[in-house]
C-alpha cells in the first residue's frame, strides 16, 4: 500500500513538472527545494529495496530535474568533476585564501588591544609615573581592585 502511494505521488509529480525546468516556471521556488530534498536521496542512495528508486528512474523528467538542480547548485556533487581535496597546510590552501595569515594576525591584535583597553579603562591595570630608576627605567606599578562586600 505504501509503495503504491509513493509511486503514485512520483507519477503525479512527474506529470505536474512536465517539461518545465522547475515546478513554477524557470526559477526555483520553495516547493522545488522540498521536492528536490526528497527526490535526490531517493535517486542517488543505495537502497535495500529498489522498487521506488526504479520507478523514479523511469520518470526521466524527474531524473533530469534532480540532475539539473545538482549541477546548478551543487556542482561539486552533481557533476563528474569534483574539486581535488587539499591536504592541510598545502599550497592549495594558501591559494584558497591568500590573506588568511594576515587576517589571523589582525584578529589576534584586535583582541589584544581590546583586552588591554578594557583593563586600563576598568582600572585593573594602571600606570604610575615615578622618578627615574637606576637603569633609566620608570617604575610601573599594578594596582589590585578590592572587592566591596
Does the pTM surpass 0.75? The reply is: no
Does 122 reside within a domain? no
Q: First CA to last CA across the chain, in angstroms?
A: 74
Q: What φ, ψ does residue 22 adopt, rounded to 5°?
A: -130, 170
Task: State which residues form the domain around 64.
Answer: 1-74
Q: What is the pLDDT along the chain (149 residues), one digit of tens a residue?
A: 888 999 999 999 999 998 899 998 888 889 999 999 999 999 888 888 888 899 999 999 999 999 989 888 888 754 454 554 555 555 555 456 778 888 888 888 888 888 888 887 888 877 777 766 565 555 555 555 555 54
Domain count, the chain: 1
Does 44 reside within a domain? yes
Amino acid at each position: 500500500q505504501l509503495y503504491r502511494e509513493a509511486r503514485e505521488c512520483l507519477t503525479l509529480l512527474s506529470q505536474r513538472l512536465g517539461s518545465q525546468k522547475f515546478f513554477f516556471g524557470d526559477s526555483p521556488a520553495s516547493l522545488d527545494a522540498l521536492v528536490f530534498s526528497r527526490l535526490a536521496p531517493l535517486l542517488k542512495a543505495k537502497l535495500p529495496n529498489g522498487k521506488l528508486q526504479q520507478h523514479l528512474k523511469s520518470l526521466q523528467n524527474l531524473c533530469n530535474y534532480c540532475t539539473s538542480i545538482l549541477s546548478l547548485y551543487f556542482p561539486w556533487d552533481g557533476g563528474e568533476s569534483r574539486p581535488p581535496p587539499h591536504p592541510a597546510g598545502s599550497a592549495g590552501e594558501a591559494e584558497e585564501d591568500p590573506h588568511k595569515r594576515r587576517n589571523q594576525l589582525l584578529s589576534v591584535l584586535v583582541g589584544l588591544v581590546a583586552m588591554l583597553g578594557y583593563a586600563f579603562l576598568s582600572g585593573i591595570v594602571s600606570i604610575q609615573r615615578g622618578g627615574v630608576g637606576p637603569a633609566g627605567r620608570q617604575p610601573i606599578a599594578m594596582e589590585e581592585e578590592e572587592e566591596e562586600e
